[in-house]
Structure 1
Amino acid sequence: MEWRKLREQQEDALSVFAAKNANSFGRLVPEEKCPIRTDFERDGNRILYSMEFRRLRHKTQVFFNAKNDHICTRMEHVLNVGSIAVTIARTLNLNQDLTYAIALGHDLGHAPFGHSGERVLDKCMKRLDGSAGFQHELHSLRVVEKLATRISREKINDNCGLNLTFEVKDGIVSHCGEKYNEYVLTRDLSKTPETLRNIKKRGALPYTLEACVVRLVDKIAYVGRDIEDAVRVRLMDMKDIPGDIRNELGNTNGEIINSLVCDLVENSYGKDCIQLSPAKGEALEKLINENVRLIYKADKITRYEKIAENTMEGLFHSLLESLADMERLQASDMKVHRMFYNFIMDKNYDKKERDAQKVIDFIAGMTDSFAQSCFEEIYWM
C-alpha cells in the first residue's frame, strides 16, 4: 500500500485555499519520497530533530537567563505557536502538517538573548557594511538552507541544509511578527522559489494561508504569555493593563488566546485571507504596545540588555579578528576559537563568503549560556 499517496489524496477534502503536497514547488534538491509521510510532515520532523531546534530550549524569549523553570523559553514559544496554529488550521480545514512545520521552524535563526541579541548583530554588520544586517527571519531561512545538517541514508551533509520544501521555507522567512498593527493577511501567490533567493528584508507576505496563520499566531502566542511571565517575576500586575483592553481580550493568557483564536476563525472561515475583526485586531495592537511599555522597556530588562549587548559585541569583534590567522585559530588554547575553526571547516563556505557572515553564523547559533561562557573565556583576565 502506498500510504503517502493515500494521504495526499485525502488532502482533496481540504479547503480550496489550503496548500496541497501534490501542488508543492518541492525541494531544491530532489529526493526519494517517504513511503508514509507527506513532504510537509517530513519537513516538520527534520526541523524537530535538528540540533538548531534543540538549542532553542536555552535561548531567551523575553527574560534573560531566567532561573525560574516556569519562565517561557524560545522553544516553548515555538511549541505554543505550533499548538495554536494547528488548532486554527484544523478548524479552517487548512494543511495542518504545513502549518506545524512552519511554526516549528519560524525562530530557528534567533540569536542568543532574543531581540536584544538580534539588534546587536544587526548593528555589528551594519558598521562593516551599511547594506548588510541581521534579521532573524532571514537567518532562519539561511539556517534551514545551509547551516543545519541532517544525516540521511546516502550522505551526512548534502550542503543544502535540511532541504525543506519551498512552502515551509517561505513560511519561515515570511513569519515577521514585529508588525503590531497587522491583523489582516492575504497570501502572495506570485512568489516562486526564485523569490527566496532574492529576499533581502523582512515583511513580505507569505505564499500560503498556512503561513499567514503562523504569522498572526506568533503575536497571539507571545503577547499574553509575556504578561504572564512578567507577573510571575513581579515586574508588573495584570491590572496595569488598561481596562478597555482587558474587557476586549481577557484577564489571563488563556482568555486572551481563546478570544483571539475564536475571533480569527470567525472572520477567516471560508475566506482567502487570515484576519481578526477590527475590534480584536486593534486591541491586540494596543496590548502589544502595553507590553513594550511595561515589559520590554522595563528598567530591569534594559539593564540586563547592556550585559547581553556587551557579550555579543565582544564575541563578534574577537571572533572576527581571529579569522586573520586560521592556523593560529586552529591551534588556539581557547576552546571557543578551536570550535569556531571547526565550525568554519564543517560548513564548507564559498570563497566569496564574508568573514563577518561566518562570525554571525557561529554566534547566532549559540545558546545564551554558551555565549556567556565563550565571552568569559575570551576576556577573562
Structure 2
Amino acid sequence: MIWRQLREQQENLLSPYAARSVNSFGRIINEEKCPIRTDYERDGNRILYSMEFRRLRHKTQVFFNAKNDHICTRMEHVLNVGSIAVTIARTLNLNQDLTYAIALGHDLGHAPFGHSGERVLDKCMKKVNLEFGFQHELHSLRVVEKLATRISKEKIHEKCGLNLTFEVRDGIVSHCGENYNEYSLKRDLGKTPQSLCNVKDRGGLPFTLEGCIVRLVDKIAYAGRDIEDAVRVNLMNVHDIPKDIRNELGNTNGEIINTLVCDMVENSYGRDCIRLSPDKGQALEKLINENIRLIYKADKITRYEKIAENTLEGLFDSLLDSLSDFEKLQTNENKVYRMFYNFIADKAYDESESDAQKVIDFIAGMTDQFAQSCFEEIYWM
C-alpha cells in the first residue's frame, strides 16, 4: 500500500480548492484499495475499459453514421473533453485523475443518434407516463451505478455498476452542457451521497471544481469541432460565422480551444470557481447559437433525424409490446428479442423497474448501426 499512499501524499501539494481522494465520500460498496492507484485514477480506468465506453466509438456526435473517417464520433468528443479538461486542471493545480475520470464517463449514457436520439427516447418515455423521461446525464449515472458490469476477484458486482466514487458519479450527472449562457460555475458543497439517490433533472452544479471544469469544457470541445466537421462535409463555410465571434474566439477549432482554455485559466486561477470572462463566455454562447442555426438545424441533419426517430420509436414500441409475455422472448425466432431477453435476465431488475425503463436501457446502450440493424431485423418483411 506504500505506493498508493505516496500517490495520495502528492495530492497534498494540490490547490486548497482541489478534491483529494483521501477525503472522498467513497463508493456505494466498500472495496479493498488498489495498491498503487488512487481511487479517482482507478475510476477512470474502470470507465475506460468498460464496454459502455467502447461503444461510444460508434455513436453519433452530430453527423449520423458518417462514412467519413475524419468526422467526430461520441468517443472522440469524450477524449477531447478529457484532454482539454486535464490541461486546465493541471494548470490550476486541481486533481487531474478526478477530472479525467469525470470526462471519460460524462457521456456513457448517451443514446444512439446523439441528441436527436435523446429527444426521441424522452418522447417515448413520456408517451408511457408524463412523469418519465430520458436525459443522457441522468442515464450516464444510471449506467455507472446499475447497468454496467465488471468482474472483480470476488464476484460480478450487481446493482452498483462500476461502483465509482461519489465525486466521479456526481461530476458525471452534473455535467450538463446544454446551458449555453453559463460561463461561471461555483461548486455545490452542500451535496452528499444521498443527493444522487433521487436526481430527477439535469442542471445541478457539481460538488467539485474538477466537475465544474468538465461541465464548461464539454461546450468548448464541441463548439469548434462541430464547425470543423460541418466545413469538411460542405455543410457550411467558416466565414458563415459572424466576424465579431471569430475575432473574439478564433477562426479554427484549435484557435477557439486555445482562446477559451487560456481565458478560463486566467479567470479561475487561485479562485474557488471555474469561469470564463464575460466577453469570452458570451462569445461562446453566440457561437453555439450559430452552430444551432447553421449545423444542428440544417436541412440535411433534420431530414436524417426523421430516420433516427422512426428507428428508435419502432424499436421502443416493438420491444415494449414484446414484454407482455416475457418468457416467450427467450425462444423467439427473432434474435433481437432473444438478445433483449438475455439483457433483462443479466441485469436482475427488481420489481420497481417499469417495462418502459427496461426497453430504454436496452436501446440507449445501442450504437447507431446496431440500432438500425435491430430495426431492420424486426420490421423487415
Aligned residue in 2 for 1:169: 169
Task: Return the alpha-carbon distance in structure 2 between the equivalents of residues 179 and 156 of structure 1.
Answer: 37
Written as runs of structure 1 = structure 2, the 5 A alignment for 1:163-242 is 163-242=163-242
Task: Return the alpha-carbon distance in structure 2 between the equivalents of residues 159 and 22 of structure 1.
Answer: 25
Task: Return the alpha-carbon distance in structure 1 between the equivalents of residues 22 and 307 of structure 2.
Answer: 49
Written as runs of structure 1 = structure 2, the 5 A alignment for 1:84-233 is 84-233=84-233
User: Contact 2:295–2:301 at 8 Å: present in 1 too?
Assistant: yes
Give the letter for the 2:376 counterpart. E
Written as runs of structure 1 = structure 2, the 5 A alignment for 1:246-261 is 246-261=246-261
Task: Return the alpha-carbon distance in structure 1 between the equivalents of residues 287 and 163 of structure 2.
Answer: 38
Give the letter for the 1:263 counterpart. D
**What 5-or-longer segments of structure 1 have no aligned partner?**
none
User: Contact 2:186–2:205 at 8 Å: present in 1 too?
Assistant: yes
Written as runs of structure 1 = structure 2, the 5 A alignment for 1:317-328 is 317-328=317-328
Aligned residue in 2 for 1:72: 72
Give CA deviations for 1:115-159 in whole Å, capped at 9, x if unaligned: 000000000111111111000000000000000001111112333
User: Contact 2:186–2:274 at 8 Å: present in 1 too?
Assistant: yes
Deviation at 1:328, TM superposition (A): 1.6
Identity of aligned residues (%): 82
Aligned residue in 1 for 2:360: 360
Give CA deviations for 1:157-186 in whole Å, capped at 9, x if unaligned: 333100000000000000000000000000
Q: Which moved more, 1:99-108 or 1:156-165?
A: 156-165
Deviation at 1:70, TM superposition (A): 0.1
**What 5-or-longer segments of structure 2 have no aligned partner?**
none
Task: Return the alpha-carbon distance in structure 1 between the equivalents of residues 349 and 198 of structure 2.
Answer: 19
Q: Which runs of 4+ in 1 moved over 6 A?
A: none
Task: Return the alpha-carbon distance in structure 1 between the equivalents of residues 89 and 281 of structure 2.
Answer: 19
Is residue 64 of structure 2 the alignment partner of residue 54 of structure 1? no
Task: Return the alpha-carbon distance in structure 1 between the equivalents of residues 367 and 107 of structure 2.
Answer: 13
Written as runs of structure 1 = structure 2, the 5 A alignment for 1:297-316 is 297-316=297-316
SS of equivalent residue, structure 2 residue 324: coil
Give CA deviations for 1:192-240 in whole Å, capped at 9, x if unaligned: 0000002100000000000000000000000000000000000000000
Aligned residue in 2 for 1:345: 345
Deviation at 1:351, TM superposition (A): 1.3
Aligned residue in 2 for 1:262: 262
Aligned residue in 1 for 2:369: 369
The alignment covers a number of residue pairs equal to 381
Give the letter for the 1:4 counterpart. R
Deviation at 1:42, TM superposition (A): 0.1
Give CA deviations for 1:235-276 in whole Å, capped at 9, x if unaligned: 000000000000000000000000000000000000000000
SS of equivalent residue, structure 1 residue 320: helix
SS of equivalent residue, structure 1 residue 325: helix
TM-score (ref. length: structure 1) = 0.99
Aligned residue in 2 for 1:42: 42
TM-score (ref. length: structure 2) = 0.99
Task: Return the alpha-carbon distance in structure 2 between the equivalents of residues 161 and 278 of structure 1.
Answer: 40
User: Contact 2:146–2:158 at 8 Å: present in 1 too?
Assistant: no
